[in-house]
Structure 1
Amino acid sequence: MFRPRLLGAALMLALASTANATSFVVTTDTIVRGVAASTDATSDVTSSFRDDKIVRAARDDAASFVASQGDTRGVKLESAFAHIRQQAPELKATDAQLAQAILAI
């Protein structure tokens, strides 16, 4: 009697650990895809606006924006956001992603 219960408990434990591992893989894949999408948007901005004077002038404001987690918004940065969105209306990046892209230039 004891042996079938032990086998049943071991089987349940194995199934539970498999479910947890699958859940971890799915969660990890979702996070990686989100980071990849953000990186793609950032690299699109950096490559097309590398020599743009308006965008380059906003670097200091972008650094302040990122450091303050979006609380500090300088005039040059706002101008760069508007310029980027006008030049690339298909780009669906947040202000934080754009500021990070400006810093990456």
Structure 2
Amino acid sequence: MKTSLLALGTAALLLAGPLSAASFVATTDVLVRGTVDITNATTRATAAVFGDDKVVLDARDDAARYVASEGAQRGAFLEAALVHIRGKLPELQADDGALAEAILML
């Protein structure tokens, strides 16, 4: 997740060079708010279905490790939870990072 935010920030910097500082701040705020909105929606959808699900709750340590390592460390509990979540909510369009963050917020 941090990598995508860094990429978004870098893109915003490159595009905002000739613009005023106020425009840059507004652009960055819109991008960050959009990312936060997606994460919040994923969390709400996940919490509504999996708030007391043992498979998902058992994955919290692995999810924390995954987020902290920016996706480099994937534990067995997290893998099981991702499969479980996607099986129950196939319409949910979220990447592994967003789901890991949603698991952490349960």
TM-score (norm 1): 0.71
Partner of 1:39: 40
Q: Is the 8 A contact 2:39 2:102 kept in 1?
A: no
Aligned counterpart, 1:99: 100
* Contact 2:59/2:78 (8 A) holds in 1: yes
Rg (Cα) greater in structure: 1
**Who is 1:25 aligned against?**
26
What are the within-5 Å matches in structure 2 for residues 59-98 of structure 1?
Answer: 59-98=60-99
Cα distance in 1 for residues equivalent to 2:85 and 2:32: 27
Matched to 2:105, the amino acid is A
The gaps in structure 1 that reach 5 residues or longer are: 1-18
Aligned residue-pair number: 87
Inter-partner Cα distance in structure 2 for 1:42 and 1:70? 18
Structure 2 portions without partners, runs of 5+: 1-18
Which one is further off, 52-61 or 76-85? 52-61
Which structure has more helix as a fraction of its residues? 1
Residue 89 of structure 1 aligns to a residue in which SS?
coil
Structure 1 counterpart of 2:100, one-letter code: A
CA RMSD of aligned residues (A): 1.7
Q: TM-score, normalised by structure 2?
A: 0.71
Per-residue CA distance 1:16-64 (angstroms, 9 max, x = gap): xxx6345543442233123212211122112220111110111111111
